Amino acid sequence: MVELVRAGRDPADLAREFEPSAQAIRNWVAQADRGESRGASKSDVLALAEREELARLRREVRQLRLERDILSKAAAWFARESGAVPSGSSSS
């Protein structure tokens, strides 16, 4: 019955078809929802913590890539300024 309600069936229609009252069916659905929320709370917390960590790690990766690009450009600029790398096109 619970799965039928979750699939979109109306408890009143199910009550006419299968005999238990519509209120009894609603109570079963509510009880099933409460039972699932208790069992899923640890995994929800874990999933929330994992999502937060993933967002933090993505921000960190973005920052590290930006810093790497800046350092790479700075190293190339200092190499040209010191004369270690000739400016313009390289000819071999």
In tens, the pLDDT along 77-87 reads 999 988 876 66
d(CA 46, CA 39): 13
> In the prediction, which pLDDT does 40 show?
54
pLDDT-derived band at 51 (thresholds 50, 70, 90) equals confident
d(CA 6, CA 70): 54
pTM confidence score: 0.44
d(CA 72, CA 37): 50
* Token pair 């069992």: residue: 39
